[in-house]
Structure 1
Amino acid sequence: MRRLLVATVAATSLVLAGCGSDSSGGGLGDISVSKDSKPKVTVGKGFTATKTTSKVVTPGSGLVLAAGDAVKVNYVAINGRTGKEFDNSFTSDKPLTLTLSEKEVLPGFVKGLTGQKVGSRVLVAIPPKDGFGQAQPDLGMKKDDTMVFLFDVVSKVPTAAAGKPKALPKDLPKLVLDDKSQPSKFEKTAKTAPTKDKPSANVVIEGNGPVVKLGQTLSVHYLGQIYPTGKIFDSSWTRGAPSSFALAEGQLIKCWTDLLPGLKVGSRVVLVCPADVAYGKEGSGADIKGGDTLIFSIDLLDAS
Structure 2
Amino acid sequence: MRPSRPALTVAATLTLALLAGCGSSSNPSPGGTTVATTAPSVALKGVTATGAVDLKTAPKVALGTTPISTTTVERKVLTPGTGTAATTQDTVRLRAQIFNGTSGKLLDDGYAEGRQPEGYRLGRSDLIAGFTEGLLGATKGSRVVFSIPPAKGFGAEGNSQLGIAGTDTIVVVADIADVRRGLTQVDGTQAASPAGLPTVAFPNGPTKEPTVTVPKSAAPTETKQATLIEGKGAAVEKGQTITAQYHGVLWRDGSVFDSSWQRGASADFPIGVGAVIPGWDKTLVGQKVGSRVLLVVPPADGYGEAGSGDKIKGTDTLVFVVDILDAY
Question: Which bracket does the TM-score occupy, shorter chain normalised?
Answer: 0.7 to 0.9
Q: What residue is the counterpart of 1:16 in the other structure?
A: 21
Q: What residue is the counterpart of 2:295 in the other structure?
A: 271
The 8 Å contact of residues 80 and 143 in structure 2, kept in 1 or not, is answered as yes
Unaligned runs of 5+ in 2: 23-34
Identical positions, percent: 34
Q: What residue is the counterpart of 2:164 in the other structure?
A: 141
The SS at the match of 2:99 is: strand
TM-score normalised by the chain length of structure 2: 0.78
1:35-54 to structure 2, matched below 5 A, reads: 35-37=52-54, 38-40=57-59, 41-44=61-64, 45-54=66-75
- Cα distance between partner residues in 2 of 1:97 and 1:229: 38
Q: What residue is the counterpart of 2:27 in the other structure?
A: none
User: Do structure 1's residue 57 and structure 2's residue 81 form an aligned pair?
Assistant: no
User: Do structure 1's residue 81 and structure 2's residue 102 form an aligned pair?
Assistant: yes
Q: What residue is the counterpart of 1:173 in the other structure?
A: 198
The SS at the match of 1:281 is: helix
Shift of 1:9: 6.0
User: Do structure 1's residue 214 and structure 2's residue 238 form an aligned pair?
Assistant: yes
TM-score normalised by the chain length of structure 1: 0.83
Structure 1 residue corresponding to 2:47, chosen from 23, 28, 31: 31
Query: Match for 1:129: what amino acid?
Result: A
The SS at the match of 2:133 is: helix
User: Do structure 1's residue 296 and structure 2's residue 301 form an aligned pair?
Assistant: no
- Cα distance between partner residues in 2 of 1:240 and 1:120: 32
Q: What residue is the counterpart of 2:122 in the other structure?
A: 100
* Residues 236-245 or 42-51, more deviating: 236-245
Query: Match for 1:230: what amino acid?
Result: G
- Cα distance between partner residues in 1 of 2:262 and 2:153: 26
How large is the RMSD of aligned CA atoms in angstroms?
3.1
Q: What residue is the counterpart of 1:225 in the other structure?
A: 249
Q: What residue is the counterpart of 1:185 in the other structure?
A: 210
- Cα distance between partner residues in 2 of 1:115 and 1:282: 45
- Cα distance between partner residues in 2 of 1:267 and 1:278: 21
The 8 Å contact of residues 163 and 206 in structure 1, kept in 2 or not, is answered as no
- Cα distance between partner residues in 2 of 1:243 and 1:250: 17
The SS at the match of 1:28 is: coil
The 8 Å contact of residues 272 and 282 in structure 2, kept in 1 or not, is answered as no
Structure 1's 74 and 267: CA in aligned 2 closer, same or farther, altered over 3 A?
farther
Shift of 1:15: 0.5
Shift of 1:32: 0.9
Structure 2 residue corresponding to 1:158, chosen from 167, 177, 182: 182
Structure 1's 62 and 291: CA in aligned 2 closer, same or farther, altered over 3 A?
farther
* Residues 130-139 or 175-184, more deviating: 175-184
Unaligned runs of 5+ in 1: none
